[in-house]
Structure 1
Amino acid sequence: MADIIQLLPDHVANQIAAGEVVQRPSSVVKELLENAIDAQSTSIKLIVKDAGKTLIQVIDDGKGMSTTDARLSFERHATSKIRTAEDLFQLNTKGFRGEALASIAAIAHVELKTKQEQDEVGSSIIIEGSEVVEQEVVVTPVGTSISVKNLFFNIPARRNFLKSNQVELRHIIDEFHRVALAHPNITFEMYHNGSEMFQLPESNYRQRIVNIFGSKTNEKLVPVEEDTEVLKISGFVGKPQFAKKSRGEQFFFVNNRFIKSAYLNHAITSAFEGLLKDGAHASYFLNLKVNPKTIDINIHPTKTEIKFDDEQTLYAILRASVKHSLGQFNIAPVLDFERDSNLDTPYGFKDKNANSPSIEVNRNFNPFQEEKATASRTQMSYKKEVAGNWEGLYVGLESKGTKSQQDFSEIQFESDEQTVSMFQNEHAIGQQQSTFQLHNKYIISKIKSGMLVIDQHRAHQRILYEDFLKNITVKEAMSQQLLFPLALHFSPQHMTIINQIKEDLEHTGFVFANLTNESLEITGVPVSVPESEVSIILEQLINDIENEVPDSNFSATDLLTKSMSKSLAIKTGQSLTIQEQEYMVNKLFACKEPNVSPNHRPTFVTMTLDELDRKFL
């Protein structure tokens, strides 16, 4: 039998490796930024076009590479970071596998320009699909500039799996945030389609957070500091009142490397126990310093998951540190909120014994000596008072005449109402009532063949969805003006999204004023939107657009109406009156598609009398 096992060609092996390393344009951004940091750069510039599908360019002022190193950097398993297997457990650099550039070059057009400080000229290499097209000497500044063009040009199937530019750009921004937050001592710049998105100068950690997420973030931060033999913690957590519905502002850095850890996240959640509303997630920006020998980074291709030797100890220290910081800055509740310091026991009386009070008894006291005199005086004054006002007792009786008897006969006592049978009342009400609410979740409505069981949350979503869609299409939505303008603050990238959907929001009834780079004022809201829900609605809307819920095949208008209907629909557990239940039923079946919610889930089910009868067989 012939041999069937053979070695894969290099370009095929590189494409297979690219499937693990390069999942989307943000993966390329991550690898290139980390390489620039390992090159000891002080300034890094990221340039992106079409959300990275057309161009990803990273320019740094680091050490640069020689001509030989520039060529070897695109070979598989070629790295300057490690020499032996033991080095894997003493890593202080970002990259170490030597697969990133080789994988990227296998699925894109790559151009590299690099120059070391002691050299007069630099090197330029152009690679297309793992093939070196050109290599020459060029004049270039000190450092490295690498451009990745036409990602997945030779793997169209992978390119078709990419999401829209809005979603891919959000992933790139997420990676940019993770790298920039881990290194506040480096200047970062980011440009997308020629417009500046971030300009982050060298600063301290707190200022870096503020520069990324907006100036309003400064007042939300609570510092966390802890230094032990096992773990050193530094950073900030967000105040509970500023917690958000999404998990966007949650960052763990271990030895300046961003990681994801559900276990450590649970430690933060536990520290905030009792301080957050239902469904809210705390913000945190925490740096953890541990001995590199106690962690294993090489367990995941993206290196965002690592393994700790002693997770339980880290969990306990992290939870205690965050809890201490929240209490130290008067964030966590205390037992007595209005304690008066004047009532505290002075330190001078702390160890003194209390003196027993002395009791004196008058043994000659007789309580009956003046009883008669007092009683007579009381009786005399009482008689005198009644005698003087006896005529006032009969004032008004003649005017009522015979109606006094009738008035007394019409008096109804509260006890009479309580004695009426509850079953008689329920029967009378049930004859008139056509809908019932079950567990504050379902509405039961009678029909000829049986009954309908309606999910009140999904049904209201469908009603609101069609109303908003009609308002945006017709552009005649009703708006209620606010007595005082509502000021809201968002990060610059979120304000960009709001500006994109501003016109559609105005067609639903929102009225905007004074939009800036980080804030906006709302002077009017749709009639059905309470003022207290506006910020929650906009946050949910921004989150849905960033994640493109449900998917990229739907228009922005459809996405907007679905997000708003989801935020404003009545929730499970809300009690409805009979009129509200009937309105819900009538309004639902007046919709064009009453059978399903905007997310294509059933809004009601029917149960016939025959089905009920079979239950009793």
Structure 2
Amino acid sequence: MNRIQLLDQATANKIAAGEVVTRPSSVIKELVENAIDAGATSIYVEIKNGGMKEIYVSDNGGGIHPDDMALAFRRHATGKTRPGDEMFGLSSLGFRGEALSSIAAVSRVKMVSRMRGAETGQGIELEGGEVVRQYPIGCPEGTGIYVNDLFYNTPARLKYIKSIGAESASCADGVGRLILAYPEISIRYSNNGSPLYHSPGTCLADAILAVYGKEIYDNLIPVQYDGKGLRVTGYIGNGTISRRNRSFQTTIVNGRVVRSAKISNAVSTAFSERMMIGKFPFYVLSLTVKQERMDANVHPQKTEIKLLDEDAILAELVSAVESALSPKSDLRRLTLPQKTPKEQDSLASVSEKTEIPEEYKRMADDFAGEIAMPAFPKKGGFRVKDAPDASLDFSPIQMPSQPLKERMEKEPVEQPKESQAKPAFSQGVPMVADQLSLPVDHPRAAGSLPVDLRIIGQAFATYLLVQSGESLMIIDQHAAHERLNYDRYLAQMERQQVISQPLLAPCVVTMAVEEVQLVLDHKDIFLSMGFDLDTFGLGAIAIRAVPSVFSGLDLHAAFLDMVEQFRSLGKASPLAVVRDRIVRACCRMSIKAGQPLGHEEIAQILQMLKTTPKLTCPHGRPIVMIIAKGDLEKNFKRIQ
């Protein structure tokens, strides 16, 4: 039987290093956090060979006292925590005193430091956690530390290290998140002598520009929220810069970069219906809670935290993000790619070499003779000689102040004679006014679309073309109508006036006894959603009426899915339970792509879109794309 014995310091440090120092990026994190705790305003980080050969971190912080240089590498030696301090309420990033000892235990370390106001600095070198030498040295104020040959004395750890490229990427990601967490500190980062990041130390927007570049910077939405127990600042991205993973999400709580699936899910909840399934929003959010309501001492690397009143904080976070989002943030701007000078030269050379055939020239002359087109048309626009159809009027359209259906009931509309030509975009196509008769029956956010809209027409029987000021708006007619149908049902649910459709015969759904009881316990919610149901024997439910949007669906399967949703979600809102089914139903009953629309149908869609709170379909697809006039002029070389 083995007797219990106390481990020696070197063995204990190596064990601690296995928790704190897992790869080069974790070393950088600990050293940069030490620099931040030391009051640094400028930090420089450099790595070589993915950080395995060398990591160098220097700062202009307060420095270390010469007498404390060796002590700093002892386990549980720290200047940030004092005996008797509570773990709740800690404000410093470090507090255990394990980082330097763990790093030194598995590498060769050299550190120089000079306190502010001191004449000289002090240097120290260690191998495997043992001090090799200590000496006075001339150096700038602050601290610089070299970490060489990481895991040189623990070869078993090397098999868990990934490629040089993967480790370099991990280091860059870690430094980038520290830049975002402390935008007021100037941080520079280099890899093998090549500068990658240089944050100016000014504000968060500039830090995001330094880390992610202009594409992300141009699509940011600011967040500013002050609640009862939570303060939120930072930026979220619009749907243009969403990703298929959470790599573009940075969560900062009281200055600590943390991983939190619950916080990420809360932000995704706020983006509900604005983000496609499988996509995750970009965000850099800094959450501030009272220090005593957060415990950072739950993970060796301090990348996880525990919050008191977590549910209340997450609910406030959802409100904070939702308040920052608006219909204008749903608009997607299309930037037309411009040809490079090389491509332009290539086109020009082809044009110069290509001779136009004589027959094409004669055809062009004949065509010019058929059409009378002034070089500078008057205000009324171009006039086509002997135009067969004079009914096309592209003058600006006055948008109706009330829904089209109400105006049609009050004002008789003169029906065109059969001999009259129909608009080009609705010729030979049955009108779909019945599909569009959706009353705007709920108060919603105003200003979703601009007021100055001029209908141009329809492209590919799928996209509505509308001019607004100096922009061309392209609207997906199916996505738009789907959003309008969905909003109508939500409004009915809010007022508990959902239109129900009685069934010719009750639909009996057999289920377990506990599931029947679950339905009965939430019967009021089912009633508010438009269901009429009751028990049918011991293990079945009889459904006598369903929401009108459910017509045509497999009712048996849909109801069982909803019961399962209740079971999994627990205390859930009616919408959370029925949402997926409603979305499918609204998609099925909406105008389809390839369905031509007339002028009045387009006008009615636009009128109703002006009141919708979101310009995305319930699946998260964008409804409106915008092309600026300036982008068109640049591509046509009208402007440079």
Q: How does 1:191-210 map to 2 (within 5 A)?
A: 191-210=190-209
Residue of structure 1 equivalent to 2:401: 343
Identity of aligned residues (%): 39
Q: Which amino acid aligns with 1:202?
A: G
Residue of structure 1 equivalent to 2:273: 274
Residue of structure 2 equivalent to 1:323: 322
CA distance in structure 2 between the partners assigned to 1:202 and 1:241 by the alignment: 27
Residue of structure 2 equivalent to 1:76: 75
- 2:39·2:62 contact (CA, 8 Å) conserved in 1? yes
Residue of structure 1 equivalent to 2:417: none
CA distance in structure 1 between the partners assigned to 2:91 and 2:327 by the alignment: 33
SS at match of 2:69: helix
Residue of structure 2 equivalent to 1:506: none
- 1:48·1:57 contact (CA, 8 Å) conserved in 2? yes
Q: Which amino acid aligns with 2:179?
A: A
Residue of structure 2 equivalent to 1:448: none
CA distance in structure 1 between the partners assigned to 2:84 and 2:303 by the alignment: 20
CA distance in structure 1 between the partners assigned to 2:241 and 2:253 by the alignment: 25
Residue of structure 1 equivalent to 2:146: 147
CA distance in structure 2 between the partners assigned to 1:109 and 1:6 by the alignment: 28
Deviations 1:238-293 (A, max 9, x none): 10132122322101100111111111111111111111223211111101010010
Decide which structure has greater helix share: 1
Q: How does 1:145-294 map to 2 (within 5 A)?
A: 145-294=144-293
Higher relative contact order (CA 8 A, sep 6+): 2
Residue of structure 2 equivalent to 1:585: none
Q: Which amino acid aligns with 2:218?
A: E
Given the superposition, is the C-alpha separation of residues 329 and 38 from structure 1 closer, same or farther in structure 2, using an over 3 Å criterion? Answer: farther
Residue of structure 2 equivalent to 1:40: 39
Is residue 72 of structure 2 the alignment partner of residue 14 of structure 1? no
**Alignment gaps of 5+ in structure 1:** 334-338, 346-356, 358-617
Deviation at 1:216, TM superposition (A): 1.9
SS at match of 1:132: strand
- 1:241·1:276 contact (CA, 8 Å) conserved in 2? no
Residue of structure 2 equivalent to 1:513: none
Q: How does 1:105-116 map to 2 (within 5 A)?
A: 105-116=104-115
CA distance in structure 2 between the partners assigned to 1:246 and 1:143 by the alignment: 39
Q: Which amino acid aligns with 2:196?
A: M
CA distance in structure 2 between the partners assigned to 1:260 and 1:92 by the alignment: 18
Deviations 1:11-49 (A, max 9, x none): 000000000000001110100000011110011000100
Deviations 1:155-186 (A, max 9, x none): 11112321101110111011101111011111
Q: How does 1:44-123 map to 2 (within 5 A)?
A: 44-123=43-122
Given the superposition, is the C-alpha separation of residues 327 and 16 from structure 1 closer, same or farther in structure 2, using an over 3 Å criterion? Answer: same
Q: How does 1:576-615 map to 2 (within 5 A)?
A: none
Is residue 309 of structure 2 the alignment partner of residue 310 of structure 1? yes
- State the TM-score, normalized to the length of structure 1: 0.53
Aligned residues: 341
Deviations 1:314-371 (A, max 9, x none): 11111112112112744399xxxxx9886169xxxxxxxxxxx9xxxxxxxxxxxxxx
Deviations 1:104-158 (A, max 9, x none): 1110000010001121111100000011001011111100000000000101111
- 2:44·2:57 contact (CA, 8 Å) conserved in 1? yes
- 1:222·1:329 contact (CA, 8 Å) conserved in 2? no
CA distance in structure 2 between the partners assigned to 1:330 and 1:29 by the alignment: 36
CA distance in structure 1 between the partners assigned to 2:186 and 2:218 by the alignment: 24
Deviations 1:378-418 (A, max 9, x none): xxxxxxxxxxxxxxxxxxxxxxxxxxxxxxxxxxxxxxxxx
Residue of structure 2 equivalent to 1:589: none
- Whose Rg is larger? 1
- 2:89·2:293 contact (CA, 8 Å) conserved in 1? no
CA distance in structure 2 between the partners assigned to 1:306 and 1:261 by the alignment: 8
Q: Which amino acid aligns with 1:145?
A: G
Q: Which amino acid aligns with 2:42?
A: S
Q: Which amino acid aligns with 1:181?
A: L
Q: Which amino acid aligns with 2:112?
A: K
Deviation at 1:210, TM superposition (A): 1.1
CA distance in structure 2 between the partners assigned to 1:324 and 1:66 by the alignment: 49
Given the superposition, is the C-alpha separation of residues 341 and 42 from structure 1 closer, same or farther in structure 2, using an over 3 Å criterion? Answer: farther
CA distance in structure 2 between the partners assigned to 1:85 and 1:304 by the alignment: 24
- 1:232·1:290 contact (CA, 8 Å) conserved in 2? yes
Given the superposition, is the C-alpha separation of residues 341 and 315 from structure 1 closer, same or farther in structure 2, using an over 3 Å criterion? Answer: farther
Say which is worse superposed, 311-320 or 52-61, in terms of deviation. Answer: 311-320
Given the superposition, is the C-alpha separation of residues 328 and 224 from structure 1 closer, same or farther in structure 2, using an over 3 Å criterion? Answer: farther
CA distance in structure 2 between the partners assigned to 1:168 and 1:330 by the alignment: 36
CA distance in structure 2 between the partners assigned to 1:180 and 1:292 by the alignment: 22
Q: Which amino acid aligns with 2:120?
A: V
SS at match of 2:86: helix
CA distance in structure 1 between the partners assigned to 2:39 and 2:118 by the alignment: 18
CA distance in structure 2 between the partners assigned to 1:290 and 1:90 by the alignment: 10
Given the superposition, is the C-alpha separation of residues 323 and 280 from structure 1 closer, same or farther in structure 2, using an over 3 Å criterion? Answer: same
- 2:113·2:141 contact (CA, 8 Å) conserved in 1? yes
CA distance in structure 2 between the partners assigned to 1:340 and 1:325 by the alignment: 31
**Alignment gaps of 5+ in structure 2:** 333-396, 404-409, 411-640
- 2:245·2:280 contact (CA, 8 Å) conserved in 1? yes
- 2:24·2:52 contact (CA, 8 Å) conserved in 1? yes
